[in-house]
C-alpha cells in the first residue's frame, strides 16, 4: 500500500482551479438527507488561534465604493435587462473597466475582489452575481456536470470542479456568454464547452461552504492548521451536505496528529457517500499510517476505482518513468492521465519534457504552450513562459549553427 500513500499525499477539496484553468470534488449527496454532524467531530480546544472569518453576509456584501461604481456604469443607459446584461459583460471583459485577473488561489469576498481586481472562478462568479443582483437581474451560481479537475500543489492534491453564473433574461450579447432560450451563462474558464453542459444550481449554503472550504485548503497549504480547522468547521456548519468538507477536516486532523479524529471525519462523510474519492483516498493513507491492514483491505475494492480514475496516478507513474529515462513509457502514462482529465497543466508539461528528451523540439513546444494556457495561477503560467522562451532561444541557436 506504499503506492497509495505516494499517490495521495493528502488529497483535499478546493473549489476553483484553473483553465484559466478550471474549478471541488463531487459534492453531490446520493441522498437528499443532510448529514447530522456529531458533536464529537469537533475539537475546538486543540486549535486555539481562531482567525477572523468573514461572515456569510460579508462574503456577498458590496462596498460603498463598488455601489457608487455600479451606479455610474448604468447612468445614462436604458434600465432594461438587455442593456444591463450588455453593460455587465462590458465591465467584465473590457480593458477599460474592471480589468479582472484570474488567480487560482484567490478566494475573496465580493468587496475584496472588487478592490483587488482578481479572484478564482468562485470569486469572480460571486462578483458577477453581486453586480447582477445590484442591477436587479435574475441570477444564480451553478456547477457544470463535468469531471473534477486535479492539481498538484506542493505535497497536496487538489480536486476541484467549476462554478459559473446563470442569468435569466430573453437574450444576451457579447463574448463569454452562452444563450439557451432565456438562460445565459457567464463563465470564466478557458474552456468554452463548459457553458453548454448540463448545470446544477447551487444553493447559498453550498456556495458559502465552498468559499470557506477553499480558504481552509489554502490554510492547509500554508500549514496554518488552526485557521484551516475553523474555516473547515465554518464550511460544514454552513452546509453539512458538503461531503468534500469532511475530507478537508480529516486532512487537518491527520496533519495535526489527531488520527482518531481524522478517521471519524472521513467515515462521517463516507456514511453519506460511500464512493467519495477524496474520503476513500485519505482514509487509505490514514489506515496505512495506523497499520490497520484489516480496515484497509475492507475499503480496497472501492479504493481501486479511485486509483484507476485518478489522473495523478498516471502523472506519478509518468514521473517515475521519466526519471528512469523511459521517455516513451512516460508519454503513455501522461497521455492516459490526459484522457481522464484534459485540463491538468502538469500532464502536458510531462508530455513536453518527454518529447524534448526524445529530440522532438516542436512537439515539446506545442505541449509547453498548452501547459502555459492551462496554468492554474499567474506564477505557474510565467514558469512555462520562461521555459518556452528558453526553448525558442535554444531552437534558434541550433538552427543558426546548422546553417
Here the cell at position 24 is 471541488
Map residue 151 onto helix, strand or coil.
strand
Asked if residue 373 has pLDDT above 50, the reply is yes
Tell me: do 346 and 284 sit in the same domain: no
H helices of 239-377, in order, are 244-255, 259-270, 277-290, 293-308, 311-323, 327-340, 345-357, 361-374
pTM for this prediction: 0.78
Between these two residues, 51 and 275, which has the higher pLDDT value?
51
CA angle in degrees (0–180, nearest 5) for 243-244-245: 85
Total domain count for the chain? 2
For residue 251, the domain's CATH number is 1.25.40.10
Domain boundary among 272, 294, 309: 309
Tell me: do 193 and 262 sit in the same domain: yes
Tell me: do 336 and 258 sit in the same domain: no
Tell me: do 352 and 286 sit in the same domain: no
Tell me: do 144 and 171 sit in the same domain: yes
* Residues forming beta bridges with residue 11, ordered by sequence position: 157
The range of the structural domain enclosing residue 149 comes to 1-309
The model's confidence at residue 5, banded by pLDDT at 50, 70 and 90, is very low
The model's confidence at residue 26, banded by pLDDT at 50, 70 and 90, is very low
Tell me: do 187 and 300 sit in the same domain: yes
Give the contacts of 172 (CB within 8 A, at least 6 positions apart). 82, 85, 89, 179, 184
| Contact assessment for residue 140 and residue 201, using Cβ atoms and an 8 Å cutoff | yes
Each residue's pLDDT tens digit, 140-187:
998 877 666 666 665 566 677 778 888 887 554 443 444 445 667 888
Asked if residue 29 has pLDDT above 50, the reply is no
Domain boundary among 290, 309, 328: 309
Map residue 51 onto helix, strand or coil.
coil
Each residue's pLDDT tens digit, 191-222:
655 666 777 889 999 999 999 999 999 999 89
Each residue's pLDDT tens digit, 53-82:
999 999 999 999 999 999 998 876 667 777
Q: Using CA atoms, how far apart are residues 99 and 69, in angstroms rounded to an integer?
A: 14
Tell me: do 218 and 242 sit in the same domain: yes
Please name the helix (run of DSSP H) or strand (run of DSSP E) that holds residue 388, with its range, or none: helix 378-402
Tell me: do 139 and 273 sit in the same domain: yes
Amino acid at each position: 500500500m506504499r503506492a497509495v500513500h505516494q499517490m495521495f499525499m493528502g488529497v483535499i477539496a478546493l473549489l476553483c482551479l484553473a483553465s484559466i484553468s478550471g474549478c471541488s470534488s463531487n459534492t453531490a449527496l446520493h441522498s437528499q438527507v443532510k448529514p447530522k454532524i456529531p458533536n464529537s467531530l469537533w475539537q475546538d480546544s486543540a486549535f486555539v488561534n481562531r482567525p477572523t472569518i468573514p461572515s456569510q453576509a460579508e462574503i456577498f456584501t458590496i462596498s460603498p465604493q463598488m455601489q457608487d461604481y455600479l451606479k455610474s456604469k448604468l447612468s445614462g443607459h436604458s434600465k432594461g435587462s438587455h442593456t444591463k446584461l450588455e453593460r455587465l459583460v462590458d465591465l467584465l471583459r473590457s480593458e477599460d473597466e474592471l480589468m479582472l485577473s484570474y488567480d487560482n488561489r484567490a478566494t475573496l469576498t465580493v468587496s475584496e475582489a472588487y478592490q483587488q481586481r482578481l479572484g478564482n472562478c468562485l470569486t469572480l462568479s460571486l462578483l458577477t452575481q453581486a453586480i447582477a443582483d445590484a442591477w436587479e437581474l435574475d441570477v444564480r451560481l451553478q456547477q457544470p456536470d463535468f469531471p473534477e479537475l486535479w492539481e498538484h500543489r506542493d505535497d497536496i492534491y487538489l480536486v476541484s470542479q467549476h462554478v459559473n453564473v446563470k442569468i435569466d433574461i430573453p437574450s444576451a450579447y457579447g463574448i463569454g456568454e452562452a444563450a439557451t432560450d432565456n438562460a445565459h451563462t457567464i463563465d470564466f474558464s478557458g474552456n468554452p464547452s463548459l457553458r453548454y453542459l448540463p448545470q446544477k444550481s447551487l444553493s447559498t449554503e453550498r456556495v458559502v461552504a465552498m468559499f470557506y472550504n477553499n480558504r481552509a485548503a489554502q490554510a492547509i497549504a500554508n500549514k496554518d492548521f488552526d485557521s484551516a480547522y475553523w474555516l473547515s468547521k465554518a464550511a460544514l456548519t454552513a452546509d453539512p451536505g458538503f461531503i468534500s468538507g469532511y475530507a478537508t477536516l480529516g486532512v487537518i486532523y491527520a496533519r495535526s496528529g489527531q488520527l482518531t479524529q481524522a478517521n471519524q471525519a472521513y467515515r462521517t462523510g463516507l456514511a453519506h457517500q460511500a464512493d467519495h474519492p477524496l474520503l476513500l483516498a485519505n482514509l487509505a493513507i490514514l489506515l496505512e499510517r495506523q497499520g490497520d491492514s484489516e480496515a484497509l483491505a475492507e475499503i480496497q475494492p472501492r479504493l481501486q476505482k479511485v486509483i484507476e480514475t485518478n489522473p495523478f496516478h498516471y502523472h506519478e507513474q509518468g514521473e517515475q518513468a521519466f526519471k528512469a529515462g523511459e521517455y516513451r513509457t512516460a508519454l503513455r502514462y501522461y497521455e492516459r492521465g490526459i484522457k481522464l482529465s484534459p485540463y491538468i497543466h502538469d500532464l502536458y508539461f510531462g508530455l513536453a519534457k518527454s518529447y524534448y528528451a526524445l529530440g522532438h523540439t516542436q512537439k515539446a513546444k506545442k505541449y509547453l504552450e498548452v501547459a502555459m494556457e492551462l496554468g492554474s495561477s499567474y506564477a505557474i503560467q510565467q514558469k512555462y513562459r520562461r521555459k518556452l522562451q528558453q526553448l525558442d532561444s535554444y531552437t534558434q541557436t541550433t538552427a543558426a549553427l546548422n546553417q
